[in-house]
Structure 1
Amino acid sequence: MRIISGLYKGRRITAPKKLPVRPTTDMAKEALFNILNNQYYFDDISVLDLFSGTGNISYEFASRGTENITAVDSNFGCIKFINETSDSFDMPINTVKNDVFKFLENSKLKHTIIFADPPYNFDVDAFTKIPELVFKNQLLEDQGVLIVEHSKHTDLSHINQFSYSKSYGGNSFSFFESVQ
């Protein structure tokens, strides 16, 4: 994987093969950040990266100037890799080793962007639980967005607060926003 833009543009990061991850493809990541770049100043936002895996999305935000980033994953190896990588690049990424659903149930901090990249083999109920917890616990700031990455074969348009989705190759991003 590589960092697409910002201070660390072009840097390649190689994760250990033993990690149970499926990093967002460079093509999909670039398309996602093109959307976000038109809506946010990256140095003014707070990001929560759920099911963070290799930290791919967190590194991209950090490279673009975001200083308030929290990466949550239940796998110790993933958290260790994110810590080592963010330390080597001097990136401001805070890590939390926790089950994402437990984290969402107990968190009180609001974020501008919440990005979730759960396993593609989740059933629809598990996908549905992510926006339910985010909105029930009011974890988004005003004008914030929840983005859930999933297979293009998964349809999340029936979930409350769904706004729209975009597909790139086999990846889809569903966007959820507070209804004002």
Structure 2
Amino acid sequence: MTRIVAGAAGGRRLKVPPGQTTRPTSDRVREALFSALEAAGAVRGARVLDLYAGSGALGLEAASRGAERVVLVEADRRAAQVARANAAALALPGVRVVADRVERHLGAAAAAGERYDLALLDPPYPLGEDELAAVLGALAPLLAPGATVVVERSTRSPRPRWPDALEPGRERRYGETAVWTAHRADDADDDRDGGGGEDGDGRTDG
């Protein structure tokens, strides 16, 4: 069962897409991730971009916790329909679902002058590292000052290749899941993720 962990819609269940086209983030990982993001002041009032959104669990969690605007981007049509159904059921304000390829949406968003404070990426395992690096490069111009980027991957995946515009932050591991963060390089001295320390499993940062 997948659910919203906390906030206005805390405890509400979410539908998940059928089959293996998406990889939902576990409630445990979302709880730990958003606890850190909230402690850093990166969620409430934020403009959020959820790429490879799947069911929309990450973006909808942000909306539940007070994000101002959330855009869920998912290329798989069935998954996008599930994300729309979840957004409609929760009726959280400021949520929009876009059924499109991430790369194409980033280009359109850049042309429209959109800016985001928090970007959440949970790409499918088959996505190659070169493709992910290209997406991060295309994302960078859309980030507002002080923006935070979160990438969730398998612990077997290498560290993301961050573009020069992004300053690498913390790495956390939760079982088989690794979560990396980065911040806009022009705000590198502001550790919006709370600095070093231990993650939810008691491991120190990598």
Equivalent-residue separation in structure 2 for 1:159 and 1:130 (angstroms)? 10
Cα offsets for 1:140-178 (capped at 9, x unmatched): 111101111111111225533322321111111111222
List structure 1 runs of 4+ shifted beyond 4 angstroms: none
TM-score when normalising by structure 2: 0.80
What residue in structure 1 maps to residue 200 of structure 2?
none
Measured after TM superposition, the shift of residue 80 of structure 1 is 1.4
**1:121 maps onto 2:141 in alignment:** no
User: CA offset at residue 18 of structure 1?
Assistant: 3.7
For the residues of structure 1 that align with 2:120 and 2:171, how far apart are their CA atoms?
14
What is the deviation of 1:60? 0.7
Helix, strand or coil at the partner of 1:72 = strand
**Which sections of structure 2, spanning at least 5 residues, go unmatched?**
187-206
1:178 partnered with 2:181? no
Report the counterpart of residue 193 of structure 2 in structure 1: none
The worse-fitting range, judged by mean Cα deviation, of 168-177 and 49-58 is 168-177
Give the CA deviation at 1:128.
1.1
Tell me which amino acid in the other structure corresponds to 1:35.
A
- The CA deviation string for residues 110-148 of structure 1, in whole angstroms up to 9 with x for no partner, is 10001111112222111211221112xx11111101111
Total equivalences in the alignment: 178
Q: What does residue 145 of structure 1 align with? A: 148
| Cα separation, partners in 2 of 1:156 and 1:40, compared to 1, 3 Å | same
Task: State the shift of 1:19 in Å.
Answer: 6.4
What is residue 30 of structure 1 aligned with on the other side?
31
**Aligned residues with identical type, % of pairs:** 25
- Aligned residue runs from structure 1 range 45-124, under 5 A: 45-92=46-93, 93-108=95-110, 109-124=114-129
Distance 2:16 2:128 in 1: 27
Q: Give the Cα separation in 2 of the matches to 1:14 and 1:24.
A: 13
How far apart in 2 are the matches of 1:170 and 1:62?
26
- What does residue 197 of structure 2 align with? none
**Per the alignment, do residues 34 and 17 of structure 1 end up closer, same or farther by CA in structure 2, a change over 3 Å counting?**
same
Q: Does 1:15 align with 2:16?
A: yes
Counterpart amino acid of residue 60 in structure 1:
E
Please state if 1:132 is matched with 2:133: no
Change (3 A) 1:154 1:14: same
Q: Residues 84-116 of structure 1, C-alpha deviation per residue, up to 9 Å, x if partnerless?
A: 221122123101111101111231211000111
Deviations 1:16-60, CA, capped at 9 Å, x for gaps: 424621100111111100110111263311000000001111221
Q: CA RMSD for the aligned pairs? A: 1.7
